[in-house]
Amino acid sequence: MKTLLVFVMTVLFLTSPSLAVAVKKGIYCGELKGVWYGPYDYMERFAYSHELNLVERHHFTPKVENLIDGESGPLGGDLNYTLHSWPNHHRALASLVKYSIKEKSTRIPHMKYPIECYFDRAIRMNAKDAQVRSIYSAFLSHRGRNKEALEQLEVAADLQPDSATILYNLGLMYFKHKNYDKARHYAEQAYALDFPLPGLRNKLIQVGKWRGAKPKGSGSGK
């Protein structure tokens, strides 16, 4: 199952209210530069495969990605290095969100900034990266900031309107807000793109908001 996920100051205030709040509180998320290396745009990773391989071989290894242990030092240090070198590294950001959930904190040992700063930096690196927005939405949703999570998913869907996963998650978010018409709208779009899980459709069926018959053998997938 696909999982989960994100400017200059003026753009922050226009497009990302939660990041604007961070700025107002005086949280400075640093210049976009690597610790020793980069930064590189993850959206251009295929053009910089050698540079990406170096970071992933020495810092963002499978045991770091799966939060088992650090590679070159503390786990947080390797994530910090990875996200300084590649600020919008999708898998590293997803691991960061999982780490935050695991630690029940938005401050991770050996990481320079609060977790939200890494999304600030990722968005500044490439404001058109839909996956960053999606991962950021997952972080906000877990923190109970559902309005902001919805805003980030809407941006993601605008940036990548053919992503079945993003459309499905946006439908789920609207369902959570009890906006069933929009939930059905995005569910229909996601299923038209062959999204495999029936969970959203089943939720809409249960509240009488799905148009058409319930598919045979549909399960309760999420």
pLDDT in tens, 69-80: 999 999 999 999
pLDDT value at residue 24? 43
Distance CA 101, CA 142 (A): 8
Q: What is the pLDDT of residue 22?
A: 46
Q: How far apart, in whole angstroms, are the C-alpha atoms of residue 222 and residue 209?
A: 17
Mean pLDDT, the chain, as a whole number? 87
pLDDT tens per residue across span 14-71: 334 445 444 444 568 999 987 778 999 999 999 999 999 999 999 999 999 999 999 9
What pLDDT is attached to residue 213?
Answer: 54
d(CA 211, CA 184): 8
Tokens at residue 142, please? 């877990």
> What's the pLDDT score for residue 106?
95
Residues near 92 by beta carbon (within 8 Å), at least 6 away in sequence:
60, 65, 79, 82, 83, 86
pLDDT at site 187 = 97
Residue with the larger pLDDT of the pair 219 and 74: 74
Q: What is the pLDDT of residue 192?
A: 96
Q: Tens digits of per-residue pLDDT, 149-179?
A: 999 999 999 999 999 999 999 999 999 999 9
**What is residue 36's predicted lDDT score, i.e. its pLDDT?**
79
24 backbone dihedrals φ, ψ, rounded to 5°: -60, -30
Confidence at residue 142, expressed as pLDDT on a 0 to 100 scale: 94
Q: What pLDDT does 144 receive?
A: 94
pLDDT at 35: 72
Mean pLDDT calculated for residue range 183-205:
97
| CATH architecture, range 9-154 | Alpha Horseshoe (1.25)
Q: Which two tokens stand for residue 82?
A: 């990875």
